[in-house]
């Protein structure tokens, strides 16, 4: 009997903490390079590891093998130091908490994250808004793991299978065309929300199974998850 693994993107799907994230990057950049950050590479659904490499390059830093682990460590520290600012200067996306709660009540469902954010920072982001209650962080995929996002999705499925001793049908919920492409490559179902920088038309063109304007209608989110997984879950074919 298969179970549902609902994997959520974090930034601009569940939360928006852009200001705090940029400040944390600036401090981490200075800690690693001794220079001020002039330009931060755009996220665009990419993992922190990729953003770090591009940020170093566009700021004129010759990258060596030590830069990534040092930067990730500095980013975790600088973001953690700012965690009390998250609820004040950031926000949960409309309907995020209600959607997570509603999906958690679906039979045979485990929820986690598939995010470009490094694990410690993903935990801080969700805890700031009380969203962590619904998420099993152990089986997620994170930005310090140097895998393409599609491969990371399959890694998360494997982690869930190992922990819960059951196969899972995965559904990714995210806001970028990169999320959609990852789901397509990994063979997972995709629910796209037009709450980020990709439009509903772009998400549909990229191949999302279902496109929602946002998460404000929890019943709509639950119906989308159920529609994409019910034929597999509970022995139905």
Note the pLDDT tens digit of each residue in 3-43: 999 999 999 999 999 999 999 999 999 999 999 999 999 98
Q: In what order do the strands lie in the sheet with 189-193?
A: 109-113, 3-8, 168-174, 189-193, 210-212
- Residue 104: CB atoms within 10 Å: 15
The pLDDT-based confidence of 232 (bands split at 50, 70, 90) is low
Helix (H) / strand (E) element for 24: namely helix 18-33
Q: What pTM did the predictor assign?
A: 0.94
- Give 158-174 pLDDT, tens digit per residue: 999 999 999 999 999 99
* Mean pLDDT value across the chain: 95
H-type alpha helices, 34-187? 48-58, 67-81, 86-89, 96-104, 119-127, 149-164, 177-186
Q: Mean of the pLDDT values across residues 224-231?
A: 91
- The 10s digit of each residue's pLDDT in 170-206 is 999 999 999 999 999 999 999 999 999 999 999 999 9
Instruction: Give residue 9's pLDDT.
Output: 98
> How large is the average pLDDT for residues 114-140?
98
Structure tokens at 113: 């994250």
- What are the b/e assignments for 143-172, b being 16+ CB within 10 Å? bbbeeebbebbbbbbebbbeeeeeebbbbb
């Amino acid at each position: 009997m298969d179970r549902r693994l609902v994997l959520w993107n974090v930034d601009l799907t569940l939360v928006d903490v852009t200001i705090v994230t940029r400040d944390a990057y600036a401090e981490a950049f200075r800690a690693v390079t001794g220079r001020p950050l002039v330009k931060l590479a755009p996220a665009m659904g990419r993992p922190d590891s990729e953003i770090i490499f591009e940020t170093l390059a566009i700021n004129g830093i010759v990258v060596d093998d030590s830069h990534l682990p040092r930067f990730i460590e500095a980013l975790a520290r600088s973001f953690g130091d700012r965690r009390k600012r998250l609820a004040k200067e950031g926000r949960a996306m409309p309907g995020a908490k209600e959607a997570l709660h509603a999906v958690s009540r679906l039979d045979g469902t485990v929820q986690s994250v598939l995010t470009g954010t490094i694990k410690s920072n993903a935990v801080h982001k969700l805890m700031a808004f009380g969203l962590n209650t619904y998420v099993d962080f152990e089986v997620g995929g994170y930005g310090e793991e140097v895998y393409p996002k599609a491969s990371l999705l399959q890694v998360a499925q494997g982690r869930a299978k190992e922990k819960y001793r059951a196969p899972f049908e995965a559904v990714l919920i995210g806001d970028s065309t990169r999320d959609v492409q990852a789901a397509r490559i990994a063979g997972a179902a995709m629910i796209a929300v037009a709450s980020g920088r990709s439009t509903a038309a772009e998400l549909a063109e990229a191949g999302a199974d279902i496109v929602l304007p946002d998460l404000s209608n929890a019943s709509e989110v639950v119906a989308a998850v159920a529609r994409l997984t019910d034929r597999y879950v509970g022995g139905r074919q």
